[in-house]
Structure 1
Amino acid sequence: MRSASLALIASLLVVAACGRAEPEVVLPLPPVADERLAQPPLAPPEIEISAAAARTRDALVQQATRGSLKGLAAIAARSPDFKSNLGGQDHERFWDLLRRTGVDPNRKLRDLFEQPAGLREIDGVRWYVWPDLAARDAADLIPEKLTFQERRRLEELIGEEGIEHIRSGEGYPGMRTAISEEGVWIYFVLGQDGEG
Protein backbone atom coordinates (compact mmCIF):
# COMPACT_ATOMS: atom_id res chain seq x y z
CA MET A 1 0.00 0.00 0.00
CA ARG A 2 2.85 2.23 0.75
CA SER A 3 4.29 1.83 -2.76
CA ALA A 4 0.82 2.60 -4.22
CA SER A 5 0.73 5.85 -2.20
CA LEU A 6 4.17 6.79 -3.40
CA ALA A 7 3.19 6.00 -6.99
CA LEU A 8 0.05 8.12 -6.63
CA ILE A 9 2.02 11.04 -5.21
CA ALA A 10 4.60 10.73 -7.96
CA SER A 11 1.83 10.66 -10.61
CA LEU A 12 0.20 13.74 -9.12
CA LEU A 13 3.53 15.57 -9.14
CA VAL A 14 4.09 14.62 -12.79
CA VAL A 15 0.58 15.79 -13.73
CA ALA A 16 1.01 18.99 -11.75
CA ALA A 17 4.39 19.64 -13.35
CA CYS A 18 2.97 19.02 -16.83
CA GLY A 19 0.12 21.41 -16.20
CA ARG A 20 2.38 24.30 -15.26
CA ALA A 21 4.30 26.31 -17.82
CA GLU A 22 8.02 26.66 -17.46
CA PRO A 23 8.89 29.76 -15.49
CA GLU A 24 9.71 32.63 -17.80
CA VAL A 25 13.32 33.76 -17.62
CA VAL A 26 13.62 37.52 -17.91
CA LEU A 27 17.08 38.84 -18.50
CA PRO A 28 17.61 42.45 -17.54
CA LEU A 29 18.67 44.75 -20.36
CA PRO A 30 21.95 46.55 -19.94
CA PRO A 31 21.48 50.15 -18.78
CA VAL A 32 21.21 52.70 -21.54
CA ALA A 33 24.00 55.23 -21.26
CA ASP A 34 22.98 58.86 -20.92
CA GLU A 35 24.33 60.20 -24.20
CA ARG A 36 24.65 63.69 -22.69
CA LEU A 37 27.52 62.35 -20.56
CA ALA A 38 29.46 61.12 -23.59
CA GLN A 39 29.10 64.34 -25.58
CA PRO A 40 31.36 67.32 -25.10
CA PRO A 41 29.61 70.32 -23.55
CA LEU A 42 27.63 72.35 -26.04
CA ALA A 43 29.05 75.80 -26.57
CA PRO A 44 26.69 78.58 -25.55
CA PRO A 45 25.48 80.91 -28.29
CA GLU A 46 28.39 83.05 -29.40
CA ILE A 47 28.30 86.73 -28.51
CA GLU A 48 29.58 89.04 -31.18
CA ILE A 49 32.05 91.42 -29.57
CA SER A 50 32.71 94.96 -30.77
CA ALA A 51 35.60 95.70 -33.13
CA ALA A 52 37.40 97.72 -30.41
CA ALA A 53 37.07 94.86 -27.90
CA ALA A 54 38.30 92.38 -30.53
CA ARG A 55 41.40 94.54 -31.20
CA THR A 56 42.20 94.64 -27.46
CA ARG A 57 41.62 90.89 -27.12
CA ASP A 58 43.90 90.22 -30.09
CA ALA A 59 46.64 92.50 -28.65
CA LEU A 60 46.38 90.68 -25.30
CA VAL A 61 46.59 87.27 -26.96
CA GLN A 62 49.62 88.44 -28.94
CA GLN A 63 51.43 89.59 -25.77
CA ALA A 64 50.40 86.46 -23.86
CA THR A 65 51.63 84.23 -26.69
CA ARG A 66 55.00 86.01 -26.53
CA GLY A 67 55.05 85.44 -22.77
CA SER A 68 55.36 89.19 -22.22
CA LEU A 69 54.20 90.35 -18.80
CA LYS A 70 55.60 93.80 -19.65
CA GLY A 71 53.38 93.91 -22.75
CA LEU A 72 50.31 92.90 -20.73
CA ALA A 73 51.18 95.54 -18.11
CA ALA A 74 51.47 98.20 -20.84
CA ILE A 75 47.95 97.39 -22.06
CA ALA A 76 46.67 97.38 -18.47
CA ALA A 77 48.28 100.80 -17.87
CA ARG A 78 46.02 102.36 -20.52
CA SER A 79 43.19 102.12 -17.98
CA PRO A 80 43.85 103.66 -14.55
CA ASP A 81 41.03 101.54 -13.09
CA PHE A 82 42.36 98.20 -14.37
CA LYS A 83 42.41 95.44 -11.70
CA SER A 84 44.76 92.48 -11.62
CA ASN A 85 44.70 91.78 -7.90
CA LEU A 86 42.80 92.70 -4.78
CA GLY A 87 45.86 94.10 -2.98
CA GLY A 88 46.50 96.95 -5.42
CA GLN A 89 49.98 95.65 -6.28
CA ASP A 90 51.77 96.64 -9.48
CA HIS A 91 50.35 94.43 -12.24
CA GLU A 92 53.64 93.27 -13.74
CA ARG A 93 55.14 92.49 -10.32
CA PHE A 94 52.02 90.63 -9.25
CA TRP A 95 51.98 88.55 -12.45
CA ASP A 96 55.72 87.87 -12.13
CA LEU A 97 55.20 86.63 -8.58
CA LEU A 98 52.40 84.35 -9.79
CA ARG A 99 54.61 82.98 -12.52
CA ARG A 100 57.35 82.22 -9.99
CA THR A 101 54.82 80.32 -7.86
CA GLY A 102 53.73 78.15 -10.80
CA VAL A 103 50.71 80.07 -12.13
CA ASP A 104 51.45 81.41 -15.62
CA PRO A 105 49.33 84.53 -16.26
CA ASN A 106 50.10 84.38 -19.99
CA ARG A 107 48.80 80.81 -20.29
CA LYS A 108 45.79 81.61 -18.09
CA LEU A 109 44.86 84.61 -20.24
CA ARG A 110 45.12 82.58 -23.44
CA ASP A 111 42.96 79.88 -21.83
CA LEU A 112 40.32 82.47 -20.95
CA PHE A 113 40.09 83.75 -24.50
CA GLU A 114 39.49 80.19 -25.70
CA GLN A 115 36.26 80.21 -23.66
CA PRO A 116 33.06 81.84 -24.94
CA ALA A 117 32.43 85.43 -23.90
CA GLY A 118 29.52 86.58 -21.77
CA LEU A 119 27.93 89.99 -21.75
CA ARG A 120 27.37 92.25 -18.78
CA GLU A 121 26.20 95.85 -18.64
CA ILE A 122 27.82 98.02 -15.97
CA ASP A 123 26.69 101.65 -15.63
CA GLY A 124 25.37 101.64 -19.19
CA VAL A 125 28.61 100.23 -20.64
CA ARG A 126 28.74 96.75 -22.17
CA TRP A 127 31.51 94.50 -20.90
CA TYR A 128 32.56 91.28 -22.58
CA VAL A 129 33.55 88.78 -19.89
CA TRP A 130 35.53 85.57 -20.32
CA PRO A 131 34.44 82.90 -19.53
CA ASP A 132 30.77 83.57 -20.17
CA LEU A 133 29.70 82.01 -16.86
CA ALA A 134 31.65 84.71 -14.98
CA ALA A 135 29.28 87.31 -16.44
CA ARG A 136 26.31 85.87 -14.53
CA ASP A 137 25.06 86.96 -11.13
CA ALA A 138 25.83 84.60 -8.25
CA ALA A 139 22.16 83.64 -7.90
CA ASP A 140 22.11 82.54 -11.55
CA LEU A 141 25.20 80.34 -11.12
CA ILE A 142 23.69 77.93 -8.59
CA PRO A 143 24.14 74.57 -10.32
CA GLU A 144 20.46 73.58 -10.02
CA LYS A 145 19.54 76.63 -12.13
CA LEU A 146 21.96 75.71 -14.91
CA THR A 147 21.53 73.30 -17.77
CA PHE A 148 23.34 69.99 -17.57
CA GLN A 149 25.98 71.26 -20.01
CA GLU A 150 26.48 74.54 -18.09
CA ARG A 151 26.83 72.65 -14.81
CA ARG A 152 29.48 70.45 -16.33
CA ARG A 153 31.41 73.45 -17.68
CA LEU A 154 31.14 75.27 -14.35
CA GLU A 155 32.56 72.29 -12.48
CA GLU A 156 35.41 71.99 -15.01
CA LEU A 157 36.22 75.69 -14.59
CA ILE A 158 36.05 76.11 -10.81
CA GLY A 159 35.72 72.65 -9.25
CA GLU A 160 33.69 71.63 -6.22
CA GLU A 161 35.35 74.19 -3.96
CA GLY A 162 34.34 77.00 -6.32
CA ILE A 163 30.78 75.69 -6.48
CA GLU A 164 30.63 75.77 -2.67
CA HIS A 165 31.63 79.45 -2.81
CA ILE A 166 28.75 80.08 -5.22
CA ARG A 167 26.32 78.17 -3.01
CA SER A 168 27.33 80.42 -0.10
CA GLY A 169 26.27 83.47 -2.14
CA GLU A 170 29.61 84.57 -3.57
CA GLY A 171 30.11 85.47 -7.23
CA TYR A 172 32.14 83.54 -9.77
CA PRO A 173 35.36 82.59 -7.93
CA GLY A 174 37.58 81.51 -10.82
CA MET A 175 39.88 83.33 -13.18
CA ARG A 176 38.19 85.83 -15.45
CA THR A 177 38.82 88.87 -17.60
CA ALA A 178 36.72 91.63 -19.11
CA ILE A 179 37.05 94.15 -21.92
CA SER A 180 34.60 97.01 -22.41
CA GLU A 181 32.76 97.64 -25.65
CA GLU A 182 35.15 100.56 -26.23
CA GLY A 183 38.14 98.21 -26.02
CA VAL A 184 39.29 99.09 -22.48
CA TRP A 185 40.76 96.15 -20.56
CA ILE A 186 38.83 96.24 -17.26
CA TYR A 187 40.27 93.39 -15.21
CA PHE A 188 42.16 90.12 -15.26
CA VAL A 189 41.86 88.34 -11.93
CA LEU A 190 42.87 84.77 -11.32
CA GLY A 191 40.37 84.06 -8.56
CA GLN A 192 40.85 81.05 -6.33
CA ASP A 193 44.01 79.75 -8.01
CA GLY A 194 45.88 83.03 -7.99
CA GLU A 195 44.50 85.21 -5.25
CA GLY A 196 43.20 82.62 -2.79
Structure 2
Amino acid sequence: MDADRLISIRLLAGIVLIAGLVACGEEDVRETVTLQVEQAPEYMVPNREPESVRTVLSAPAQEKISQLRGIIESNSLRQLTRLASSQSGFVSNFAGASHGEHWDLLRRTGFDPILRLDELLDGPYGVKMVAGETWYVWPELAALEPEALLPERLNFSQRARLEELVGEAGIAQVREGRGYPGIRTAIAEDGRWLYYVHEITGEE
Protein backbone atom coordinates (compact mmCIF):
# COMPACT_ATOMS: atom_id res chain seq x y z
CA MET A 1 0.00 0.00 0.00
CA ASP A 2 2.82 2.39 0.87
CA ALA A 3 4.44 1.76 -2.49
CA ASP A 4 1.16 2.45 -4.32
CA ARG A 5 0.65 5.65 -2.36
CA LEU A 6 4.17 6.83 -3.19
CA ILE A 7 3.58 6.18 -6.89
CA SER A 8 0.30 8.14 -6.77
CA ILE A 9 1.98 11.09 -5.10
CA ARG A 10 4.75 11.11 -7.73
CA LEU A 11 2.20 10.98 -10.56
CA LEU A 12 0.22 13.88 -9.06
CA ALA A 13 3.36 15.96 -8.65
CA GLY A 14 4.30 15.27 -12.25
CA ILE A 15 0.89 16.36 -13.51
CA VAL A 16 1.09 19.62 -11.55
CA LEU A 17 4.57 20.30 -12.92
CA ILE A 18 3.49 19.67 -16.51
CA ALA A 19 0.44 21.93 -16.10
CA GLY A 20 2.66 24.70 -14.80
CA LEU A 21 5.03 24.40 -17.73
CA VAL A 22 2.16 24.52 -20.22
CA ALA A 23 0.74 27.64 -18.56
CA CYS A 24 4.11 29.33 -18.74
CA GLY A 25 4.40 28.46 -22.40
CA GLU A 26 1.03 29.98 -23.21
CA GLU A 27 1.63 33.20 -21.28
CA ASP A 28 2.12 36.22 -23.54
CA VAL A 29 5.63 37.56 -23.60
CA ARG A 30 5.47 41.30 -23.10
CA GLU A 31 8.36 43.65 -23.58
CA THR A 32 8.57 47.08 -22.06
CA VAL A 33 9.65 49.66 -24.59
CA THR A 34 10.78 53.08 -23.40
CA LEU A 35 10.73 55.89 -25.93
CA GLN A 36 12.81 58.99 -25.42
CA VAL A 37 10.86 62.02 -26.60
CA GLU A 38 12.36 65.47 -26.84
CA GLN A 39 10.60 68.31 -25.06
CA ALA A 40 8.09 70.17 -27.22
CA PRO A 41 9.20 73.54 -28.58
CA GLU A 42 8.25 76.46 -26.37
CA TYR A 43 5.81 77.90 -28.90
CA MET A 44 3.73 74.71 -28.72
CA VAL A 45 3.41 74.75 -24.94
CA PRO A 46 0.09 76.23 -23.79
CA ASN A 47 0.25 79.23 -21.55
CA ARG A 48 -0.04 77.78 -18.07
CA GLU A 49 -0.28 81.09 -16.24
CA PRO A 50 -3.40 80.89 -14.08
CA GLU A 51 -6.04 83.54 -14.50
CA SER A 52 -5.56 84.55 -10.85
CA VAL A 53 -2.08 85.85 -11.74
CA ARG A 54 -3.49 88.43 -14.16
CA THR A 55 -3.06 91.97 -12.86
CA VAL A 56 -6.38 93.29 -11.62
CA LEU A 57 -7.56 96.55 -13.14
CA SER A 58 -7.14 99.55 -10.88
CA ALA A 59 -10.28 101.23 -9.56
CA PRO A 60 -9.78 104.34 -11.77
CA ALA A 61 -9.35 102.12 -14.84
CA GLN A 62 -12.54 100.24 -14.00
CA GLU A 63 -14.36 103.56 -13.67
CA LYS A 64 -13.10 104.62 -17.10
CA ILE A 65 -14.32 101.36 -18.61
CA SER A 66 -17.74 101.91 -17.04
CA GLN A 67 -17.80 105.37 -18.59
CA LEU A 68 -16.88 103.94 -21.99
CA ARG A 69 -19.53 101.25 -21.61
CA GLY A 70 -22.13 103.94 -21.08
CA ILE A 71 -21.09 105.68 -24.28
CA ILE A 72 -21.10 102.37 -26.14
CA GLU A 73 -24.64 101.71 -24.92
CA SER A 74 -25.75 105.10 -26.23
CA ASN A 75 -23.93 104.50 -29.53
CA SER A 76 -22.94 108.16 -29.52
CA LEU A 77 -19.86 109.04 -31.53
CA ARG A 78 -20.20 112.62 -30.29
CA GLN A 79 -19.93 111.51 -26.65
CA LEU A 80 -16.97 109.30 -27.48
CA THR A 81 -15.26 112.25 -29.16
CA ARG A 82 -15.99 114.51 -26.18
CA LEU A 83 -14.49 111.99 -23.77
CA ALA A 84 -11.39 111.49 -25.93
CA SER A 85 -10.86 115.25 -26.17
CA SER A 86 -10.96 115.52 -22.37
CA GLN A 87 -8.11 113.02 -21.94
CA SER A 88 -4.65 114.57 -21.80
CA GLY A 89 -2.50 113.36 -24.71
CA PHE A 90 -5.14 110.99 -26.10
CA VAL A 91 -4.32 109.61 -29.56
CA SER A 92 -6.88 108.41 -32.10
CA ASN A 93 -4.81 108.72 -35.29
CA PHE A 94 -1.43 109.79 -36.63
CA ALA A 95 -2.65 111.91 -39.52
CA GLY A 96 -3.36 115.01 -37.46
CA ALA A 97 -7.14 114.75 -37.85
CA SER A 98 -9.44 115.50 -34.96
CA HIS A 99 -10.90 112.54 -33.11
CA GLY A 100 -14.40 113.26 -34.37
CA GLU A 101 -13.35 113.69 -38.01
CA HIS A 102 -11.24 110.56 -37.92
CA TRP A 103 -13.90 108.33 -36.36
CA ASP A 104 -16.64 109.74 -38.56
CA LEU A 105 -14.54 108.94 -41.64
CA LEU A 106 -13.96 105.40 -40.38
CA ARG A 107 -17.66 104.89 -39.81
CA ARG A 108 -18.41 106.08 -43.35
CA THR A 109 -16.00 103.46 -44.71
CA GLY A 110 -17.70 100.66 -42.77
CA PHE A 111 -15.49 100.62 -39.67
CA ASP A 112 -17.65 101.29 -36.61
CA PRO A 113 -15.38 102.74 -33.87
CA ILE A 114 -17.95 102.18 -31.13
CA LEU A 115 -18.70 98.58 -32.07
CA ARG A 116 -15.01 97.73 -32.32
CA LEU A 117 -14.26 99.39 -28.99
CA ASP A 118 -16.98 97.28 -27.41
CA GLU A 119 -15.40 94.13 -28.85
CA LEU A 120 -11.97 95.13 -27.56
CA LEU A 121 -13.15 95.76 -24.01
CA ASP A 122 -14.98 92.42 -24.00
CA GLY A 123 -11.70 90.62 -24.66
CA PRO A 124 -8.59 89.96 -22.56
CA TYR A 125 -6.13 92.72 -21.78
CA GLY A 126 -2.39 92.81 -21.26
CA VAL A 127 -0.30 94.90 -18.90
CA LYS A 128 2.84 96.84 -19.71
CA MET A 129 4.99 99.35 -17.88
CA VAL A 130 5.69 102.63 -19.66
CA ALA A 131 7.94 105.16 -17.95
CA GLY A 132 7.11 103.62 -14.59
CA GLU A 133 3.37 103.74 -15.23
CA THR A 134 1.07 100.73 -15.61
CA TRP A 135 -0.93 100.56 -18.81
CA TYR A 136 -3.80 98.15 -19.45
CA VAL A 137 -3.84 97.29 -23.15
CA TRP A 138 -6.51 95.62 -25.30
CA PRO A 139 -6.14 93.14 -26.89
CA GLU A 140 -3.59 91.37 -24.70
CA LEU A 141 -1.08 90.77 -27.50
CA ALA A 142 -0.85 94.50 -28.19
CA ALA A 143 0.94 94.86 -24.84
CA LEU A 144 3.93 92.88 -26.11
CA GLU A 145 7.06 94.54 -27.42
CA PRO A 146 7.71 94.01 -31.17
CA GLU A 147 10.43 91.41 -30.61
CA ALA A 148 8.25 89.47 -28.16
CA LEU A 149 5.36 89.51 -30.64
CA LEU A 150 7.22 87.53 -33.30
CA PRO A 151 5.33 84.26 -33.96
CA GLU A 152 8.43 82.24 -33.08
CA ARG A 153 8.40 83.76 -29.60
CA LEU A 154 4.73 83.01 -28.94
CA ASN A 155 3.22 79.80 -27.66
CA PHE A 156 0.73 77.82 -29.73
CA SER A 157 -2.42 79.50 -28.40
CA GLN A 158 -0.90 82.97 -28.75
CA ARG A 159 0.06 82.32 -32.37
CA ALA A 160 -3.50 81.23 -33.14
CA ARG A 161 -4.82 84.32 -31.37
CA LEU A 162 -2.49 86.61 -33.32
CA GLU A 163 -3.60 85.13 -36.63
CA GLU A 164 -7.24 85.51 -35.58
CA LEU A 165 -6.71 89.19 -34.74
CA VAL A 166 -4.55 90.46 -37.58
CA GLY A 167 -4.47 87.73 -40.25
CA GLU A 168 -1.53 86.75 -42.42
CA ALA A 169 -1.02 90.31 -43.64
CA GLY A 170 -0.71 91.54 -40.08
CA ILE A 171 1.69 88.75 -39.16
CA ALA A 172 3.87 89.78 -42.10
CA GLN A 173 4.02 93.28 -40.62
CA VAL A 174 4.90 91.85 -37.22
CA ARG A 175 7.81 89.98 -38.80
CA GLU A 176 9.06 93.33 -40.07
CA GLY A 177 9.36 94.45 -36.45
CA ARG A 178 6.59 97.03 -36.68
CA GLY A 179 4.75 96.00 -33.54
CA TYR A 180 1.12 95.01 -33.16
CA PRO A 181 -0.67 96.17 -36.34
CA GLY A 182 -4.31 95.76 -35.33
CA ILE A 183 -6.83 97.97 -33.60
CA ARG A 184 -5.96 98.56 -29.96
CA THR A 185 -6.72 100.73 -26.97
CA ALA A 186 -5.16 101.42 -23.59
CA ILE A 187 -6.08 102.88 -20.22
CA ALA A 188 -3.53 104.02 -17.64
CA GLU A 189 -3.57 102.91 -14.03
CA ASP A 190 -4.80 106.37 -13.02
CA GLY A 191 -7.81 106.02 -15.32
CA ARG A 192 -6.64 108.12 -18.28
CA TRP A 193 -7.79 106.83 -21.64
CA LEU A 194 -4.52 106.86 -23.56
CA TYR A 195 -5.24 105.84 -27.12
CA TYR A 196 -7.62 104.05 -29.44
CA VAL A 197 -5.91 103.46 -32.77
CA HIS A 198 -5.77 101.05 -35.65
CA GLU A 199 -2.71 102.34 -37.47
CA ILE A 200 0.78 100.86 -37.28
CA THR A 201 2.79 103.93 -36.33
CA GLY A 202 3.95 103.48 -32.73
CA GLU A 203 1.84 105.33 -30.22
CA GLU A 204 3.90 104.41 -27.19
TM normalised by structure 1 equals: 0.73
Pairing partner for 1:133 from 136, 141, 144: 141
Alpha-carbon distance between aligned partners in 1 of 2:173 and 2:118, rounded to the nearest angstrom:
25
Match of 1:109 in 2: 117
SS at match of 2:157: helix
In the other structure, the counterpart of 1:22 is none
* Cα distance, 1:191 vs structure 2: 3.0
What is residue 150 of structure 1 aligned with on the other side?
A: 158
- Maintained 8 Å contact 1:178/1:186: yes
**Displacement of 1:165 after TM fit?**
0.5
Structure 1: segments with no counterpart, 5+ residues: 1-40
TM-superposed CA distance for 1:47, in Å, is 3.0
RMSD, aligned CA: 1.8
Could you say what secondary structure the match of 2:65 adopts? helix
| Amino acid paired to 2:79 | G
Query: Residues 65 and 106 of structure 1 are in contact (CA less than 8 Å); yes or no, is this contact kept in structure 2?
Result: no
Letter in 2 for 1:59: Q
| Deviates further, 47-56 or 183-192 | 183-192
Residues 7-54 of structure 1: CA distance to partner in whole angstroms, max 9, x if unpaired?
A: xxxxxxxxxxxxxxxxxxxxxxxxxxxxxxxxxx99973431101001
What is the CA–CA distance in structure 2 between the aligned matches of 1:96 and 1:125, rounded to whole Å?
Answer: 31
> 1: CA distance between counterparts of 2:49 and 2:101?
35
Rounded Cα–Cα distance in structure 1 between residues aligned with 2:77 and 2:163? 29
Q: In the alignment, what sits opposite 2:197? A: 189
Give the structure 2 partner of residue 78 of structure 1.
86
Q: Show structure 2 runs of 5+ residues with no match.
A: 1-46
Deviation of 1:88 after TM superposition, in Å, equals 1.9
Residues 99, 174 of structure 1: alpha-carbon distance in 2 compared, 3 angstrom cutoff: same
Structure 1 residue 174 displacement after superposition: 0.2
How many angstroms apart in 2 are the aligned matches of 1:43 and 1:163?
24
What does the per-residue CA deviation read over 1:44-91, in whole Å, with 9 as the maximum and x for residues that have no partner? 734311010011011112212221111111211222310000112110
Do the aligned residues in 2 keep the contact of 1:143 with 1:151 (CA within 8 Å)?
yes
Letter in 1 for 2:114: N
31, 53, 56: which is aligned to 2:61? 53
Aligned-pair identity in percent equals: 44
The aligned counterpart of 1:19 is none
